Amino acid sequence: MTFLGQFALWAALLLGCWGAVIGFSGRWRSRPDLALTVTRSVHAVLLALAVASIALWKGLLAHDFNIQYVWAYTSRNLPTPYVVAAFWAGQKGSLLFWAAVLALFASLAQFLTSRRHAPLLPYVAAVTQSVVVFFVGVMLFSGENPFGRLDFTPPDGRGLNPQLQNVGMVIHPPMLYLGYISITIPFAFAIAALLARRLDTGWLHAIRKWTLVSWLFLSIGITLGMWWAYVELGWGGYWGWDPVENASLLPWLTMTAFLHSVMIQEKRGMLKRWNLGLIVGTFLLSIFGTFITRSGVIASVHSFTQSSVGYFFLGFLVVCGAAAFTLLYTRWSALAADVQLESMLSREAAFLFNNLILVGIAFSVLWGTLFPILSELVQGDKITVGPPFFNRVNIPLGLLLLALTGIGPLIAWRKASRANLRRQFTAPLSAGLLTALALIAAGMRNWYALVALAIAGFVAGTITQEFWRGTRARGRMHGEAWPVAFGRLVARNRRRYGGYLVHAGILIYFVAFTGMAFKRERAATLTPGQSIELASPYGHTYRFTHLGVSQYKDLNRFVTAATVRVERDGAPLGVMTSEKRQHFTIQGTEEVSSFEPSTEVAIRSDLREDLFIVFTGVIGGTEEADYRFTINPLVWWVWFGGVVLVAGGLVTMWPGGAPLGAPRRAQAGYGVSLVGVGDER
């Protein structure tokens, strides 16, 4: 099978090179047959990489430990779903996964794009093929070949790192990869539009769904990553500003900026250069993210080991950046704006500020992530910045951005009148003010949290008002009952109301993040029967009683479990168990420990707060146990915010809605006639 896989990789490499060279040459412009071979080479590469993927999966499932990758990431006692997921557990496999998925997306882009954009497609193919060739090239030429064999066949593999043996880890990396990878398609269209000098809004329409798809996958990937970190890493939080986490956030930020600024281009013909810059930047950040994860240049808990692959990525990053920005520069004059900004009190201005802040946040995150390297280059001393830096910079910027989420939808396009402002802002601003007053009355004195929640109240007011007015107007106009009017309102204006649902998701995230300001924590060493108390921020008192430690053998691990009885204000809530696990593999008849011990935290989640118990160790031979007890307020809402966000994203991109070929205003998703929301006109 490895021979077949190897052969498929070479076939993909050569086919990809053919597509890229002919595609970029432009010779196909006068030769329809050449254009056809370019676009068909994309499908051929997909076929080749599908064969390679099947070959790797076969090796994994057959436990062929002669293949180095199979030996390194699986073992005979590893549950089958994890054997399947081991495909992307290591560097080599994830490179193949990346190349194969990109080939799939590239093929779909050729297949699904409307014939109207046919003149762009061979260029699009050239770009996607180049990226595929790069990934296949890394596998074949930098010693990262997933089909590499060992000189002998070990009896068993080393097994999968226990921290990766988690459902989150089975879905989280592919989701994130799907996000990273799909960014290549909008990037390819942007480059194609520049090369073909077709710089009208055509290419934007061609990539609308793609940008939403990659944004959605990135969002899901990031949220699942938070969940995995929370339940598996056991340090008590879900976001630690680790370089790898930052790397996933960066393209998400610039892509979010793009999703907003693109509306200004569709609607008003402004920001053409900025939008192209954002797409190119987003693509480069997605490659940069891979570079950081792979190269080990920046120490991270998530990173793969140091290897020469980093230099390949760095080189690719530089070449892509230089080529794309040079191309943008040569088309500069063709990208002048159609109109100028008319007023500061306009939705355009709100969007521009939103873009600046998003890019500002991205810049600060990038700066903080790279600071150890930059400071060493400039000053000779390595200086690192950690969570305090990122929180300090990003909390104010984030709150400003959240406020804009509430302001943007309320301001009219072009120029808002005084009457418009009063009509739109009265209710939401009151909602924000009331939220603040209610919280102060309830005794909250954390000013950062108060500001955050007041802004959240304002945004919630905005979103509610938008849905309420739209529903009421539609109900009156068509004589429909409220629920019907509401359903149809959303169904007919998916991009707009889906977008508001996304805003609601973001709002919920912010409220949940604010909850972490009220975290309570206490470490203790307890003998059986002994207990400690911890006060929750809501005024309850939790009592944790250590019951005892038990040891047993499970599937592929030895387990040491510590059990705690939990009471809230004297009322029993049940028992919680946190485990220490020592995984093993079987060599001959002997069980040999593999990997370091890992910890399973105990989590009890409700709408208000999470109890998070970590069993950190047992005192030699006794039943005396070390614990860390944490109360994390509002964590459940992070996951719920993620669900709302994804639901909103799906509404936005659900097919149908505005018919194809509808006037430009309708495609921009705003001018859809809504009597009663007349400020839209």
Partner 1 sequence: MQAGRKFLVGAALIVGAVGYLIAAGVRETGVYFLTPTELVTKSTADTTLYDLGLKVGAKVVPGSIRRDATQRQVDFRISDGTREIPVTYTGLVPDTFTDANDIEVIVEGRYGRDGLFRATEVLAKCGSRYEAAAEEARKA
Q: Which of 129, 118, 117, 256 is nearest to 188 (CA)?
A: 129
By C-alpha distance, which of 589, 593, 591, 565 is closest to 577? 565
Question: Binder to partner 1 among 200, 342, 569, 606 (CB under 8 A)?
Answer: 342
Nearest-approach distance from CB 298 to partner 1, in angstroms: 11
Q: Does 598 bind partner 1 (CB under 8 A)?
A: yes
Of 147, 304, 500, 639, the one binding partner 1 by CB under 8 A: 304
How far is Cα 318 from Cα 320, in angstroms, rounded to an integer? 6
Smallest distance, partner 1 to C-beta of residue 385, A: 5
Q: Which two tokens stand for residue 546?
A: 């250590």
| Choice between 397 and 444, CB closer to partner 1 | 397
The number of beta carbons lying within 10 Å of the beta carbon of residue 464 is 15
Query: How many other CB atoms are there within 10 angstroms of residue 158's CB atom?
Result: 15
Structure tokens at 311: 């230099």
Q: How far is the CB of 588 from partner 1 (least distance, A)?
A: 15
The tokens describing 69, both together, are 């990758």
Binding flag, residue 147, partner 1 (CB under 8 A): no
Q: Is 476 in the site for partner 1 (CB under 8 A)?
A: no
**How far apart are alpha carbons 79 and 81 in whole angstroms?**
6
C-alpha distances in Å from residue 382, one per residue of 127, 244, 370, 374, 415: 37, 19, 11, 8, 49
- Exposed/middle/buried for 648, CB within 10 Å: 0-12, 13-18, 19+? buried
- Residues contacting 655, CB < 8 A, separation 6+: none
- Site for partner 1 (CB under 8 A): which residue of 597, 623, 636, 650? 597
Where do we find the tokens 């609601």? Answer: 504
Contact track, partner 1, 184-223, x by CB under 8 A: ----------------------------------------
- Pattern of binders to partner 1 over 68-87, x per CB under 8 A? x--xx---------------
Question: Who's near 244: CB < 8 A, 6+ residues apart?
Answer: 289, 292, 293, 300, 301, 302, 303
CB 348 within 8 A of CB 264: yes
Shortest approach of partner 1 to residue 629 CB, angstroms? 12
Of 36, 523, 555, 675, which lies in the binding site for partner 1, with binding defined by CB under 8 A?
A: 523
Q: Which of 315, 386, 529, 678 is close enough to bind partner 1 by CB under 8 A?
A: 386
Question: Which residues does 578 contact at the CB level (< 8 Å), separation at least 6?
Answer: 561, 562, 564, 599, 600, 601, 602, 613, 614, 615, 627
Give 87's strand partners: none
Contact between 66 and partner 1 by CB under 8 A: the answer reads no
Select from 446, 525, 536, 545 the one that contacts partner 1 (CB under 8 A): 525
End-to-end Cα spacing for the chain: 63
Q: Per-residue DSSP letters for 207-240?
A: HHHHHHHHHHHHHHHHHHHHHHIIIII-SS-S--
Determine if 338 is a binding residue for partner 1 (CB under 8 A). Answer: no
C-alpha span between 511 and 640 (Å, rounded):
11
Q: Are strands 598-600 and 590-593 parallel, antiparallel or unpaired?
A: unpaired
Kindly state the smallest distance separating residue 471's Cβ from partner 1, in Å.
33
588 binds partner 1 (CB under 8 A): no
- How many residues in the shown chain lie near partner 1 by CB under 8 A? 61
Contact between 451 and partner 1 per CB under 8 A: no
Closer CB to partner 1, 384 or 605, in the complex: 384
Comparing CB distances to partner 1, the nearer of 341 and 434 is 341
List, in sequence order, the alpha helices (H) in 547-657. Answer: 635-653
Task: Give the interface segment with partner 1, choosing from 392-400, 430-438, 439-447, 601-609 (CB under 8 A).
Answer: 392-400
Q: Which of 61, 150, 450, 559 binds partner 1 (CB under 8 A)?
A: 150
Handedness of CA 44, 50, 56, 62 (dihedral sign): negative
* Residue 558 lies near partner 1 (rule: CB under 8 A): no
Binding residue for partner 1, selected from 158, 520, 540, 608, defined by CB under 8 A = 158
8 Å CB contact between 38 and 126: yes
Nearest-approach distance from CB 594 to partner 1, in angstroms:
10
User: Minimum Å distance from CB 417 to partner 1?
Assistant: 15
Among 382, 553, 568, 664, the residue binding partner 1 under the rule CB under 8 A is: 382
CB of 364 vs partner 1, minimal distance in Å: 5
Q: Which residues pair with 464 in a beta bridge?
A: none
In the complex, the smallest distance separating the C-beta of residue 254 from partner 1, rounded to whole angstroms, is 15
Q: How many residues does the chain have?
A: 681
Query: Can residue 628 be called a binding residue for partner 1 (CB under 8 A)?
Result: yes
Which range of residues in 13-21, 34-42, 448-456, 591-599 is near partner 1 by CB under 8 A? 591-599
Report phi then psi at 197, rounded to 5.
55, 35
Q: Closest CB to partner 1 among 51 and 56?
A: 56
Q: In 3D, which of 677, 237, 663 has the Cα closest to residue 462?
A: 677
Stretch that binds partner 1, among 320-328, 359-367, 474-482, 529-537 (CB under 8 A): 359-367
Provide the binding-site residues for partner 1, judged by CB under 8 A. Answer: 68, 71-72, 150-152, 154, 158, 296, 299, 301, 303-306, 340-344, 346, 349, 352-353, 356-357, 360-361, 363-364, 367-368, 371-372, 375, 381-386, 388-390, 392-393, 396-397, 523, 525, 580, 596-599, 616-617, 619-620, 626, 628
